């Protein structure tokens, strides 16, 4: 795509606030001067909002204030006017009932923070899982020039000489304790090794995935995704991004220029190649909805089908983000996709040029971390979209994290009505379950949980774990942490709380899964299914007020991105005049 830059100089939206000598201008400008800005800072230079998701309670983003200073330096160097603005920070490891319930609220609050204030462009300073999509959704809806800077992953963790991956080893160690292979004391000792430095999860979890999605969509500078949080080159990246956003404003290079259908297809293929999180499905669908790109679950299945997973990182493989960076990071993966004919090479990035120009000359420095295609973790790494009478609107599975022997399976359903029911029963030695069964979890979708918790990778029952079994098929309307693994069918749509067929599965029903034909089937007659659905009544209660009410009454299905329906689309940056 050839981008035609706008003419410069021209009048910017920030001058609505700061230009001239009228009473309102003096009100806006004069008050800001209490921070010590010289008068010539209001001469029509681009005002750049550094939208910062720093929070003490979002530890993954705990270092973003220091990074913001480097962004600020870059903006000043390029002749811009930086203003740092704190925005809603939805931390994955803190928010209850789940950070996902607040992704849309964060997007809504950030969208209004951009539109209602004098910004000409934005630097999205993000990191932890939901902070990246929420700010990108907001930027897409306002459509002012924007660039993503992520905080970067933590350094490798080590426990007794072995790599410890964020999240991935939390699940592993917890299963090992249940299976009697690890003591509680050892588990507590391991906790100290899990988070060695500032930064986001060091696995190819959702944070690393979304950083990679931002880069493959063209919304961050090339190479941004993998630089460790504490590496000096992360700070260089922040400064360069600060410089770049000023020129993006001058050129009027907007998210709608970058986030095209081609860019989304690049991101979907990238997700397959890196063995990325299933959460990317929901977030990219939601972003596409904001920017007006027609993206569907079928695009995920179609684009990812023939893409091998070549990034050997946990949870699918064995290394961590630090090694990914040293091997060359995402540009190497994008180059591979390009060489395989699986990249739209001319897709535009925030650099102002085509994505291929950014990656075509990079080198892979470690072929055990970024694998040759013939050694790929799986030859078909794309997110699989399953359909059938159990998931008429689709369900997803991540093949690189699943077990080959379960790709075609028929098993007896063991049903948990909600997560509390699961917790109450799973450790019961009398639970009628073995490794051939299929675990079914209901009422954990966007509306039902509420907020679509990351509980789809239910831990196995202890009596199965003690046999040395590490995987069973699990089906739910929940999500799964990007750091998790297993043959886990997620995002079943429509969700149980909205009356989807998942709601009427009963203990003892037989379920068939066939990944090759993309089928998930509840083996009962259509008449029985209809009768059960007709008799179904909602089990969850809707919130009566506040944001819970707003969320439950307006959240849409996972199959379209679980956005609030009234927030879809681009509303632009125009705002009415004020008068004081």
Residue 6, number of CB atoms within 10 A of its CB: 11
CB of 482 to ligand FES, least distance (A): 8
Query: Least distance (Å) from ligand FES to the CB of residue 266?
Result: 23
**Cβ atoms < 10 Å from Cβ of 5:** 12
Mind giving me the DSSP string for 62-98? TTHHHHHHHHHHHHHHTT-EEEEEE-----TTT-SS-
Joined tokens for residue 211: 């950083």
Minimum CB distance to ligand FES smaller for 60 or for 280? 60
User: Please, which of residues 457-516 interact with ligand FES by CB under 6 A?
Assistant: none
CA–CA gap between residue 78 and residue 145 (Å, rounded): 15
Q: Give 191 or 251: the residue with its C-beta nearer to ligand FES.
A: 191
Question: How many Cβ atoms sit within 10 Å of the Cβ of residue 7?
Answer: 8
Among 83, 106, 128, 359, indicate the residue that binds ligand FES (CB under 6 A): 128
**Could you tell me which residues come within 8 angstroms of residue 484 by beta carbon, excluding any fewer than 6 positions away?**
167, 168, 171, 315, 401, 454, 457
Residue 200 in the binding site for ligand FES (CB under 6 A): yes
Residue 449 main-chain phi, psi, to 5 deg: -65, -50
The nearest distance, CB 405 to ligand FES, in angstroms, is 30
CA distance 548 to 543: 5
* Structural tokens at position 536: 């179904």
Q: Which candidate, 68, 56, 74, places its Cα nearest to that of 125?
A: 68
207 binds ligand FES (CB under 6 A): yes
Give the H/E segment covering residue 549: helix 546-554
Stretches 197-205, 251-259, 391-399, 469-477: which one binds ligand FES (CB under 6 A)?
Answer: 197-205
Residue 105 CB, shortest distance to ligand FES, in Å, is 18
Q: Which backbone phi and psi does 18 adopt, to 5 degrees?
A: -115, -5
Q: Which two tokens stand for residue 517?
A: 């034909």
Nearer to ligand FES, 99 or 347 (CB): 99
Q: Does 197 bind ligand FES (CB under 6 A)?
A: no
User: Please, what is the minimum distance in Å from the beta carbon of residue 54 to ligand FES?
Assistant: 13
Q: What is the smallest separation between the CB atom of 1 and ligand FES, expressed in angstroms?
A: 32
Query: Among 12, 47, 60, 210, which residue sits at the site for ligand FES (rule: CB under 6 A)?
Result: 60
Residue 119 DSSP class: -
d(CA 57, CA 90): 9
288 binds ligand FES (CB under 6 A): no
129 binds ligand FES (CB under 6 A): yes
The residues in 160-189 that bind ligand FES, with binding defined as CB under 6 A, are: 166
Binding part of the chain for ligand FES, among 198-206, 415-423, 453-461, 514-522 by CB under 6 A, reads: 198-206
Binding characters for ligand FES, 80-119, by CB under 6 A (x = yes): ------------xx--------------------------
d(CA 481, CA 35): 42
Are the C-beta atoms of 74 and 241 separated by less than 8 Å?
yes
Q: Which of the ranges 199-207, 227-235, 518-526, 543-551 carries the binding residues for ligand FES, by CB under 6 A?
A: 199-207
The minimum distance between CB 150 and ligand FES, in angstroms, equals 10
Residues 334-363 touching ligand FES, rule: CB under 6 A, are: none
Residue 313 phi/psi, 5° resolution? -115, 150
Q: In this chain, which of 165, 205, 276, 451 binds ligand FES, going by CB under 6 A? A: 205
Token pair 């000359």 is found at: 361
Task: Give the residue with the Cβ less far from ligand FES, 168 or 260.
Answer: 168
CB of 132 to ligand FES, least distance (A): 9
Residues in touch with ligand FES (CB under 6 A):
60, 92-93, 128-129, 166, 200-201, 205, 207
């Amino acid at each position: 795509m050839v981008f035609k830059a706008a003419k410069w100089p021209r009048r910017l939206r920030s001058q609505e606030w700061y230009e001239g000598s009228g009473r309102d201008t003096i009100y806006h400008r004069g008050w800001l001067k209490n921070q010590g800005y010289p008068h010539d800072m209001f001469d029509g230079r681009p005002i750049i909002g550094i939208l910062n998701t720093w929070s003490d309670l979002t530890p993954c983003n705990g270092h973003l204030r220091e990074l913001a200073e480097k962004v600020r330096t870059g903006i000043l160097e390029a002749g811009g006017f930086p203003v740092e603005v704190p925005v809603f920070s939805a931390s994955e490891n803190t928010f209850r009932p789940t950070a996902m319930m607040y992704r849309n609220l964060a997007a809504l609050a950030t969208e209004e923070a951009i539109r209602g204030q004098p910004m000409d462009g934005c630097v999205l300073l993000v990191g932890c899982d939901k902070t990246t999509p929420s700010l990108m959704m907001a930027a897409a809806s306002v459509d002012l020039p924007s660039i993503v800077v992520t905080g970067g992953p933590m350094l490798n963790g080590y426990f007794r000489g072995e790599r410890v991956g964020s999240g991935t080893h939390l699940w592993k160690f917890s299963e090992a304790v249940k299976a009697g292979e690890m003591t509680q004391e050892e588990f507590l000792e391991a906790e100290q090794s899990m988070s060695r430095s500032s930064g986001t999860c060091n696995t190819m979890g959702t944070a690393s995935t979304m950083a990679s999605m931002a880069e493959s969509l063209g919304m961050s500078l090339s190479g941004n995704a993998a630089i460790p949080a504490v590496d000096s080159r992360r700070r260089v990246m922040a400064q360069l991004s600060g410089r770049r956003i000023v020129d993006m404003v001058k050129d009027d290079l907007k998210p709608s220029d970058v986030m095209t259908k081609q860019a989304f297809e690049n991101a979907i293929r990238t997700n397959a190649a890196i063995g990325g999180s299933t959460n990317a499905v929901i977030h990219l669908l939601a972003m596409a909805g904001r920017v007006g790109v027609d993206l569907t679950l079928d695009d995920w299945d179609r684009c990812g089908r023939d893409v091998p997973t070549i990034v050997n990182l946990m949870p699918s493989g064995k290394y961590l983000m630090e090694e990914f960076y040293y091997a060359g990071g995402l540009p190497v993966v994008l180059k591979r996709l390009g060489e395989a004919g699986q990249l739209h090479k001319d897709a535009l990035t925030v650099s102002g040029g085509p994505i291929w120009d950014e990656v075509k000359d990079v080198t892979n420095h470690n072929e055990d971390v970024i694998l040759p295609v013939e050694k790929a973790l799986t030859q078909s790494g794309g997110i699989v979209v399953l359909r059938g009478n159990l998931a008429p609107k689709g369900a997803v599975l991540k093949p690189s994290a699943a077990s080959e022997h379960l790709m075609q399976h028929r098993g007896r359903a063991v049903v948990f009505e909600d997560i509390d029911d699961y917790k109450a029963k799973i450790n019961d030695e009398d639970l009628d379950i073995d490794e051939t069964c299929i675990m079914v979890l209901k009422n954990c979708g966007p509306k039902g949980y509420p907020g679509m918790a990351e509980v789809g990778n239910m831990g196995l029952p202890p009596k199965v774990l003690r046999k040395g079994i590490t995987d069973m098929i699990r089906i739910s309307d929940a999500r799964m942490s990007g750091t998790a693994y297993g043959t886990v069918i997620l995002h079943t749509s429509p969700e149980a709380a909205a009356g989807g067929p998942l709601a009427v599965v009963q203990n003892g029903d037989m379920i068939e899964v066939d990944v090759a034909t993309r089928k998930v089937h509840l083996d009962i007659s259509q008449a029985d299914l209809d009768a059960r659905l007709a008799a179904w009544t909602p089990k969850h209660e809707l919130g009566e007020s506040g944001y819970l009410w707003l969320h439950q009454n307006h959240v849409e299905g996972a199959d379209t991105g679980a956005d609030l329906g009234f927030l879809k689309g681009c509303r632009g940056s125009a705002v009415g005049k004020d008068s004081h």
